[in-house]
Amino acid sequence: MTLQEEIGRRRTFAIISHPDAGKTTLTEKLLLFGGAIHIAGAVKSNKIKKTATSDWMEIEKQRGISVATSVMGFEYRGYKINILDTPGHQDFAEDTFRTLTAVDSVIIVIDSAKGVEMQTRRLMEVCRMRKTPVMVFINKMDREGKDPFDLLDEVEEELGIHVRPLSWPINMGLRFKGVYNIYQDKLNLYTPDKQRVSETIAVDLQSKELDQHVGEEDADKLRQDLELIEGVYDPFNIQDYLAGNLAPVFFGSALNTFGVNELLDCFVEIAPSPRSIQANERMVNPTEEKFSGFIFKIHANMDPNHRSCIAFVKVCSGKFERNVYYRHIRHDKQMRFSSPTAFMAQKKETVDEAYAGDIVGLPDTGNFKIGDTLTEGELLHFKGLPSFSPEMFKYIENADPMKQKQLDKGINQLMDEGVAQLFVNQNTGRKIIGTVGQLQFEVIQYRLLHEYGAQCKWEPISLYKACWIESDNEAELALFKKRKAQYMAYDKEGRDVFLADSNYVLQMAQNDFKNIRFHFTSEF
């Protein structure tokens, strides 16, 4: 296969949603269709003993939530599919925002009973900013939920995107009979089964055969609904979808493996292959001969026996090859990788080559930071991987003096992942952890104990915001740091951070020191 053909058959996408909408369950069923797994696991279930493939961390299995993005790749109908299952919980939103920089399209999962929720809105804003093509899967049709037309109105209004249904449900809840696949003009009859797929029938909408399959009343309602859809919604236009202006909508039940196949079949046909990415220097085209890529995620301890870190690289252009020297732009040194890996969540296998659109794992011994660029020599910097100013802060203290080394190593590796941010008070040297949500503190404590054997305890600290500061006026900067000494800290890179304890203090500081620039993301 030529480079062009290899890249053209790649589909790299993220699955995003509010917690509990069924995102990880949908991922499992996509893997099932791709033949990547033979039994779909459950996120939380007493009957199914296998846990979800993408929720492989111990804390994920216990809580029944995703706390880290996992990457899974498989082949399907001649396409190479790369799925990134993201955490839905808002406390881990930063991981999800970063993941969205590494994908070419997105599937949003919406719970039919709850409709569009807060977290989905925020994620959609990021997609809109990047003009990422979006598909919507309305899940849990086997339960009572909102009227499908009301759901479509809500998606349009709340997410600010035009929609076009490509499948349509026949009733819902206990009376759910199946969906009509508008995209392929086929009827899919529903039989609840967590591992097998229901039957698909080609049927003429006007024939009596439809009445026999779903009953006269439901058949009439389906005909009226489809007529209404043709009248209200514009015909599906693939260009509008690729431009990020139109979202195709599918209905189904991920838990019961229903409606997922239609979604996947349509997805591989219409979703974009890897797209051009804007670097600071120029636009990078995926089909360029030379390799380039960036690190969008680092994960510590994927294999607890080896305490290894893995850096996830999104290949942006060309072909990545094993044992070839590439230039690490930030360090300006040549590096080669003898064991790059492809993923199936936690399981990984060594790969000899990867193409634009693929996600490759590189063993990391402390060489990488999120946002680092690798190329065949050209000076490139990919942009758009910020760390946001945290909203919650706590002092982290060692609870076991014998394990100081393990604690330090654990904190450093977890901070490299971007799970949270570390600030060291310039005055006292005390370590402060800043996060987006409370749950992250629990995850850090849990992982320090179970992955590093280190115990930590939290102490409260009342802070409002962390701001990175810089100034061209050295004297004013020195005066500011002297006046605010007790509120000054260093971040992991040794940059000056001002920890304001209230909005009032921050505003006063901004008014009093006009020549100092206050930044609320670490990318400036």
200-201 and 246-251 as β-strands: parallel, antiparallel, unpaired? Answer: unpaired
Fold match, 3-270 / 277-375: yes
Q: What are phi and psi of 396, to 5 degrees?
A: -110, 130
Question: Tell me, what's the pLDDT at 309?
Answer: 74
| Homologous superfamily, domain 392-519 | Peptide chain release factor 3, domain III (3.30.70.3280)
Tens of pLDDT, residue by residue over 134-175, are 999 999 888 899 999 999 999 999 888 999 999 898 888 888
Question: Tell me, what's the pLDDT at 384?
Answer: 59
Question: Tell me, what's the pLDDT at 388?
Answer: 67
Residues 242 and 105: beta-carbon distance below 8 Å: no
Binned at pLDDT 50, 70 and 90, residue 390 comes out as confident
Provide CATH code, domain 277-375.
3.40.50.300
First to last CA, the chain: 41
| Mean pLDDT, range 50-72, rounded to an integer | 50
Rounded CA separation 392/390 (Å):
6
Rounded CA separation 340/313 (Å):
10
Q: Which residues contact 208 (CB under 8 A, 6 or more apart)?
A: none
pTM: 0.75
3-270: CATH, from 3.30.360.10, 3.40.630.40, 3.40.50.300, 3.30.1360.120:
3.40.50.300
Rounded CA separation 344/74 (Å):
8
Domain ranges of the chain: 3-270, 277-375, 392-519
Q: Is the pLDDT of residue 228 over 80?
A: yes
